């Protein structure tokens, strides 16, 4: 089969490799579509090898069950679905409580094994997955379904966790209207009556935000926080979702969140927010505000995301690419030329 592999730091190749063998509790999935996440770019720029042998990328996977291990129950060949990306232990205290994204087996700061970031991923004709990770999608189109596995899951999780802040009359800010952000704007609209403010550097991204339901759009810059304060009588936004996570947006988040508000870090740009324990009247962090670094989501967040898509309340803006054109798609993502999500078809 053909697979898109990271063979050395920064080096991607479409290679002919054997179809993966499956164990007793695995499924072999024939891939229908695989989304490209900005995290794939972070991975591509990693300065050292993730593992000795080439790694097949792809953690947003949709496809069809092609074969099943001998111990798999409850699945059928030909079933359509997506792959839950937290390959967690399933039996620890956190997993049992439903928090599989923070599985104890992952340790304190790592994440559970994720296809395409350790085990081989789905930018290939076939992928081996644990049967537990398969989630049915009904009739949802593969190109729409693949981004549910991360763009929707991760956005939904961050928003659900901040729901108490999203009362009618509140203001929510989405920074970075890319693959995740444009989905987040729609999820905010579907789950709440909050006023949505979208921030991005690109005009096409801001246009997309409007179409997704943002009431106000702001071109990202040094006075963005001030503009958000002006929109909220100097108080700040009740929730700020940062899908970029660089210094500029982290500091923008701190400077624009309201007292008792929620600042959620989703983007992984390594930014330093500069939250300080200063007394009243300081320039930055208001009383009562909370910060949370949000990883992926729970299995039920994924099921909810699929339901939103199946109900027509969430539509991903997709740019389709053939697997062979993955490098072009990644380069375009890097230079801000993808609108919505780029999705590969093997
Ligand atoms: P993307 O490239 O599709 O979107 C990023 C958007 O941010 C683009 O629209 C870009 O124009 C915009 N942007 C860039 N600089 C900006 C700035 N200074 N101000 C405002 N907007 C700016 O990326 P994506 O796939 O949506 O991923 C977003 C981030 O989330 C990445 O860092 C990715 O690694 C991370 N991520 C985190 C998780 C998690 O679990 N925490 C999951 C998936 C992705
Ligand atoms: Zn991702
Ligand atoms: Zn666990």
**pLDDT cut 90: percent of the chain above it:** 95
Pocket test for ligand 1, best of 34, 38, 99, 319 (most atoms within 8 A of CB): 38
pLDDT range class, residue 49, cuts 50, 70, 90:
confident
The CATH 3.40.50.720 domain(s) of the chain lie at 162-293
Q: 273 C-alpha to center of ligand 3: Å?
A: 30
Average pLDDT over residues 292-310: 98
Q: Name the DSSP letter for residue 285.
A: P
Ligand (nearest to CA of 90): 3
pLDDT range class, residue 281, cuts 50, 70, 90:
low
Query: How high does pLDDT run on average in the chain?
Result: 97
| Residue pLDDT, tens place only, 230-263 | 999 999 999 999 999 999 999 999 999 999 999 9
Question: What is the reported pLDDT for 50?
Answer: 80
Average pLDDT over residues 116-128: 97
Ligand (nearest to CA of 296): 1
Are the beta carbons of 26 and 140 closer than 8 angstroms? no
Taken in order 191, 150, 158, 42, the sign of the CA dihedral is negative
What are the structure tokens assigned to 145, written together?
């379904």
Are the beta carbons of 136 and 81 closer than 8 angstroms? yes
> Which alpha helices (DSSP H) does 80-164 contain, by range?
93-96, 142-145, 151-160
For the CA atoms of the chain, what is the radius of gyration? 20
SS3 of residue 99 by DSSP: coil
Q: Is 114 exposed, middle or buried (0-12, 13-18, 19+ CB in 10 A)?
A: buried
- For ligand 1, atom 20, the nearest C-alpha belongs to 200
Question: What is the reported pLDDT for 277?
Answer: 86
Reply yes or no on domain 162-293 having CATH 3.40.50.720.
yes
| Res 138 pLDDT > 80 | yes
Q: Which residues line ligand 1 (CB under 6 A)?
A: 37-39, 42, 150, 154, 175-181, 199-202, 205, 220, 243-245, 248-249, 266-269, 294-296, 333, 336
Question: What is the reported pLDDT for 311?
Answer: 97
Pocket test for ligand 1, best of 101, 161, 180, 269 (most atoms within 8 A of CB): 180
Average pLDDT over residues 133-145: 97
The better pLDDT of the pair 79, 283 is held by 79
**pLDDT cut 70: percent of the chain above it:** 99
Q: Looking up tokens 């997309």, which residue turns up?
A: 208
Distance CA 25, CA 132 (A): 8
Ligand (nearest to CA of 242): 1
Question: What is the reported pLDDT for 284?
Answer: 78
| Res 282 pLDDT > 70 | no
Q: 196 C-alpha to center of ligand 2: Å?
A: 23
Taken in order 316, 322, 328, 334, the sign of the CA dihedral is positive
2-153+296-345, CATH topology level:
Quinone Oxidoreductase; Chain A, domain 1 (3.90.180)
Distance CA 42, CA 132 (A): 27
| Residue pLDDT, tens place only, 318-334 | 999 999 999 999 999 99
The CATH 3.90.180.10 domain(s) of the chain lie at 2-153+296-345
Question: What is the reported pLDDT for 276?
Answer: 87
Question: What is the reported pLDDT for 182?
Answer: 98
Per-residue HEC secondary structure of 185-241 comes to HHHHHHHCCCEEEEEECCHHHHHHHHHHCCCEEEECCCCHHHHHHHHCCCCCEEEEE
65: enclosing H helix or E strand: strand 60-68
pLDDT range class, residue 200, cuts 50, 70, 90:
very high
Distance CA 236, CA 139 (A): 42
Residue 319's closest CA among 135, 140, 146, 139? 146
Which atom of ligand 1 is nearest to 224's Cα? 19
């Amino acid at each position: 089969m053909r697979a898109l592999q990271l063979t050395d730091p920064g080096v991607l190749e479409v290679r002919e490799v054997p179809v993966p063998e499956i164990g007793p509790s695995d499924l072999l999935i024939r891939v229908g579509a695989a989304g490209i996440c900005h995290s794939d770019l972070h991975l591509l720029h990693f300065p050292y090898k993730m593992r000795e042998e080439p790694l097949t990328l792809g953690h947003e996977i949709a496809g069809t069950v092609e074969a099943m291990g001998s111990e798999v129950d409850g699945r059928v060949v030909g079933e359509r679905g997506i792959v839950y990306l937290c390959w967690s232990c399933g039996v620890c205290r956190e997993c049992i409580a439903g928090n599989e994204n923070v599985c104890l087996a992952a340790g304190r700061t790592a994440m559970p094994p994720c296809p395409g970031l350790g085990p081989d991923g789905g930018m290939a004709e076939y992928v081996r997955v644990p049967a537990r990770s398969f989630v049915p999608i009904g009739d949802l189109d593969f190109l729409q379904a693949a981004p549910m596995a991360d763009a929707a899951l991760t956005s939904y999780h961050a928003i659900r966790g901040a729901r108490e802040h999203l009362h009618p009359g509140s203001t929510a800010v989405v920074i970075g209207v890319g693959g995740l952000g444009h989905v987040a704007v729609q999820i905010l609209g579907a789950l709440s009556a909050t006023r949505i403010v979208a921030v991005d550097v690109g005009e096409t991204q801001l246009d997309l935000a409007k179409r997704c339901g943002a009431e106000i759009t702001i071109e990202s810059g040094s006075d963005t926080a001030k503009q958000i304060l002006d929109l909220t009588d100097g108080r700040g936004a009740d929730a700020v979702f940062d899908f970029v996570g660089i210094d500029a947006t982290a500091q923008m988040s701190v400077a624009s969140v309201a007292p008792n508000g929620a600042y959620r870090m989703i983007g992984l740009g390594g930014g330093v927010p500069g939250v300080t324990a200063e007394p009243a009247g300081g320039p930055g962090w208001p009383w009562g505000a909370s910060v949370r670094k949000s990883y992926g989501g729970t299995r039920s967040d994924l099921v909810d995301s699929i339901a939103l898509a199946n109900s027509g309340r969430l539509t991903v803006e997709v740019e389709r690419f053939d697997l062979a054109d993955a490098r072009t798609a990644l380069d375009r993502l890097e230079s801000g030329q993808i609108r919505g999500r780029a999705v590969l078809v093997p």
